Amino acid sequence: MSLPILKAKNLSKNFGGLRAVANVSFDVTPLGVTSIIGPNGAGKTTLFNLLSGLYIPDEGQLLLEDTDITQLSPVQRLACGMARSFQITNLFFDLTVEQNLQLASQKLESWTNLFYATSKSKLALKRAEELIEEFKLEAKKDEPVAFLSHGEQRRLEIAVTMALYPKILLLDEPTQGMSQGDTHNTSELIAELSKTVTILLIEHDVELVMDLSKHVIVMAQGEKIAEGNPHDVRNNPIVQTAYFGETE
């Protein structure tokens, strides 16, 4: 078994009197998809925000390849190789697809290039072109993002997070609001990406999670209640109770 790329140790977060995440620990091993699931209000999104740096945990520690990133900002976490997408599409809507990807890739360049014409930023332009091709956005590259379909926007959201070659990608409900066809395409895309980058996924669609994941972490009421491979998790009575309630 390979060494974990991400280690969460006893992460906790309180909002006033509400304990949103309580003593959650888990490991994420390199490559493939690790997923976090749980019913509404389980604390998935809070946990995700703790991992991505939007919130700093009240207690606990987060290690990315043995580097302590617990107190780091999102900017610093990205520099360490951690990128995230958003549940609600969070892009630059009045910029074009190409401009969004160039903006996302610009950090590959030296900061001095900020002051030269965009055409001098060869690395960023090349990376944007690669992503346009990889995510099949060629036909829309000159369109402002606001004019894209929901499915295309979600695809671009993932493309943007891939711009800086992250080691680990945190995906927050990437198929939210998608049609069945788009969900299928995105699922294939995530499976393909997971061959080269570690993916930590939060998703409501349990079937999708079970198909894609090598490891599943289940949360309920702010705590981790189970983890394991999809088969074990599916058959775990504690998980079934959390999802479907007590059976008489």
Partner 1 sequence: MDKYQYQAVRIMEYVMLVAAIILIIFGKITGDTFFLRLATEALIFGGLALSVDLLLGIVGLLSLGQALYFGFGAYLSALILRDWVPSFWLCILLVAISSAILGWVTSYIALRSKGVYFALISFGLAQVFAKSIYNTRALGASDGMVGVPIVQIPLPFLTLNLGDAITFFVVTFILMSCIYFALKYFLYTPLGRIWGGVRSNESRLPYLGYNTQTPKRIAFILAAIVAGVSGALYPMLRGFVSPELMYFSVSGNAVITVVLGGVGTLIGSLFGSSLLMILKSIIGTLTFHHHIVIGLLFIVVVIFAPKGIVGILCTKLKERATR
Give the nearest distance from C-beta 4 to partner 1 in angstroms: 23
Contact criterion met (CB below 8 Å) for 99 and 131? no
Main-chain dihedrals φ then ψ at residue 179, nearest 5 degrees: -70, 170
Query: Which one of 7-15, 19-27, 116-124, 198-206 is the stretch in contact with partner 1 (CB under 8 A)?
Result: 116-124
Give the nearest distance from C-beta 197 to partner 1 in angstroms: 16
Residue 15, class by beta-carbon neighbours within 10 Å (0-12 exposed, 13-18 middle, 19+ buried)? exposed
Q: Is residue 233 close enough to count as binding partner 1 by CB under 8 A?
A: no
β-pairing, 6-15 vs 67-68, is unpaired
Interface residues for partner 1 in 37-66 (CB under 8 A)?
Answer: 52
CA 16 to each of CA 20, 22, 69, 84, 219: distance values in angstroms, whole numbers, following the listed order: 10, 14, 24, 26, 21
Interface residues for partner 1 in 119-138 (CB under 8 A)?
Answer: 121, 124
Q: Is residue 153 close enough to count as binding partner 1 by CB under 8 A?
A: no
Q: Is residue 72 close enough to count as binding partner 1 by CB under 8 A?
A: no
Comparing CB distances to partner 1, the nearer of 164 and 225 is 164
DSSP at 4:
P
Can you give the binding site for partner 1, defined by CB under 8 A? Answer: 52, 73-75, 78-79, 83-84, 86, 90-95, 99, 102-104, 106-107, 109, 113-118, 121, 124, 160-161, 163-164
